[in-house]
Amino acid sequence: MTRTSIIKISDNFDKSKHNNLICNDAFKVFSSIPNGFADHCITDPPYNISGYDFKKEIGWLKSNKYWSEQKNFNKIEESWDKFSNGDYEKFTKLWLDEIYRIVKPNGNIIIFGSYHNIYKIGYLLQRADRKIINSVVWYKRNAFPNITQRMLCESTEHIIWAVNETNKKAKNWTFNYNELKKYNTVKECSKCKKVIDSEYKFCPHCGNNIFHTKKLQLRNLWNIPSTPSGEKRHGKHPSQKPIEMLERLIVGGTKKDDIIIDPFAGSGTTAVVAKNLDRKFIAIDNNKEYCKIALNRLKDGHQQQII
Ligand SMILES: C[S@@+](CC[C@H](N)C(=O)[O-])C[C@H]1O[C@@H](n2cnc3c(N)ncnc32)[C@H](O)[C@@H]1O
């Protein structure tokens, strides 16, 4: 069957298309996608952090001069992100079960979360005996401050990188070790070969001032700022992920022409990066506005700067 490559928003999956951008409830779409059709899943599901007690927070807000002057909240409050505790676990188990079926054995399943939901997702992956190969910590150095001043400023999100196979049988998953090294370039002294801080003009170990750059294996702490406003020029999504985050995951965890499914695509960041890196995508979101943003981003050739 010949596949077509023009991207449009549709309401169901069509396997004759190279790429699918689908505006529908993911649970209505899953059944039309054959077993093992996708090579990988990279997704950022609802975190279940809405339903926040603003009234209570306002009490704290008033007790603090700085925040009462700022009057600046940065909380997600979306109907798609509200579940009762038991419902969130059921919802997560349901979509994970579909993803185990749709992704090929040994394909990567990479899931974003925060401390609110990531333990539940990790627990469900372990219960399903999926091999977890990494947990990446995304450090947002420009994270929004904690307004209550009663706890640390939450400035990380977490990404679980799992393989769609049991711990015993998992093998030959895609991990592009060498390609990922470009995201960890360091300054090395040409004389004593020690790695030194990028600000140094002279090597603190031997005094030499000749350096070269060296690419090292990538670690699992990624220091990437929150999504820059330039990436939101086609419209705002409350939890849009930075291109740079997706780029590392797609460069490291997929191959050219692989099909990546993202059942909670939002503004389409996974799809945008997949397209720019010559991968294919199945992107699903049940919100029309978000799908339009995704479509416009996909049409915009300037959305992506690859290193
Ligand atoms: C955390 S956001 C994803 C953001 C995305 N990574 C981005 O960069 O824009 C989760 C998305 O899941 C969508 N969603 C929630 N429940 C859904 C469902 N049952 N089917 C399809 N999409 C759903 C929401 O509309 C929301 O856009």
Topology given in CATH for the domain delimited by 9-175+228-299: Rossmann fold (3.40.50)
Strand order in the sheet with 185-189: 195-196, 185-189, 211-215
pLDDT of residue 1 exceeding 80 = no
Tokens 């676990």 belong to 89
Give pLDDT tens digits for 3-18. Answer: 666 899 999 999 999 9
Q: Which helix (H) or strand (E) holds 184?
A: none
Q: CA torsion, points 27, 290, 35, 2, in degrees to nearest 10?
A: 130
Could you tell me if the CB of 284 is within 6 A of ligand 1? yes
Say whether pLDDT at 259 is over 90: yes
Q: How many angstroms separate the CA atoms of 169 and 149, rounded?
A: 47
Characterize the bridge pairing of strands 185-189 and 195-196: antiparallel
The type of residue at 238 is P
In the chain, where are the structural domains located?
A: 9-175+228-299
Q: Evaluate: CB of 285 within 6 angstroms of ligand 1.
A: yes
Mean pLDDT of 180-198: 95
Examine the pLDDT at 119 and tell me if it is beyond 70.
yes
Q: Examine the pLDDT at 235 and tell me if it is beyond 90.
A: yes
pLDDT on residue 122: 98
Q: Over the stretch 39-96, which tens digit does the pLDDT of each residue have?
A: 999 999 999 987 655 555 555 555 566 555 555 555 677 889 888 878 999 999 999 9
* Among 285, 293, 298, residue to substitute to test ligand 1 (most atoms within 8 Å of Cβ): 285
